[in-house]
Amino acid sequence: MRLRDLDQYLRPLRRRVSALFSRGAWIWTYDGGGLRQGQVSLLANEVRDKLEHIEPYGFTSSPQVGAEAFVVSLGGTRDHSVIIVAADRRFRLRTLEAGEVALYDDQGSSIVLKRGGRIEVRAAAGVDVVGDVRVQGSLEVTGDLADGTGSLQDLRDIYNLHEHQEHGTGGGITGPPLTQA
């Protein structure tokens, strides 16, 4: 067999191997079925539509337009491609220490599993907890606690200023408590 003949036989195999992995830019999201689908721009003028976005169990995200998409073409053919990773270097946290793990978004919110067993939660606009909360250990609050009708500071203010009728002595109105809250 001549070298030219070998090259002719290997050409389809090389083409399929080179098509196995691609990198592109996220264009659009379709999110209504079992798996999210994305439209991505791969090679020059190659747009692939409704590619399944394979995500690890328990984790999901909706990539921004312009995020990087890493695509695998199963069997080396573009007819069955899937997005295996979507990443976005524009918003990636850059302050993690070795071994730390984080969830983050494009607005600056994050949950970081820190070294030493700490968990750091940063919220761009506040944290909403749905359901019961149980704290085993100490709770230190540097702001104020509040519910739907007022805050702990409101209760302190009422307590510190309250007066009432003395009972049992026939006396008058008491002054505010001697010990302030």
Distance CA(37)–CA(48), nearest Å, equals 11
Half-sphere exposure of 146 toward its Cβ, with a 13 Å CA cutoff? 10
For residue 75, being part of any structural domain is answered with yes
- State which residues form the domain around 34: 3-87
For residue 20, being part of any structural domain is answered with yes
CB neighbour list of residue 116: distance below 8 Å, 6 or more residues apart: none
Query: Tens of pLDDT along 107-117?
Result: 999 999 999 99
Distance CA(103)–CA(59), nearest Å, equals 10
Candidates 109, 103, 104, 102; CA nearest to 123 is 109
For residue 140, being part of any structural domain is answered with no
Query: Tens of pLDDT along 29-56?
Result: 999 888 899 999 998 789 999 999 999 9
Q: Give, for all 181 residues of the chain, the pLDDT tens digit.
A: 688 888 888 888 888 888 789 999 999 999 988 889 999 999 878 999 999 999 999 999 999 999 999 999 988 888 889 999 999 999 999 989 999 999 999 999 999 999 999 999 999 888 888 999 999 999 888 888 888 888 888 877 877 777 766 766 666 777 677 676 6
**The tokens of 118 are what?**
């700490």
Angle among Cα 102, 103, 106 to the nearest 5 degrees reads 125
Q: How many domains is the chain partitioned into structurally? A: 1
For residue 68, being part of any structural domain is answered with yes
The per-residue b/e assignment along 21-36, b for 16 or more CB within 10 angstroms, e otherwise, is ebebebbebeeeeeeb
For residue 177, being part of any structural domain is answered with no
**The tokens of 171 are what?**
């006396």
Candidates 6, 15, 149; CA nearest to 75 is 15
For residue 60, being part of any structural domain is answered with yes
Domain harbouring 40, CATH code: 2.40.50.230
For residue 26, being part of any structural domain is answered with yes
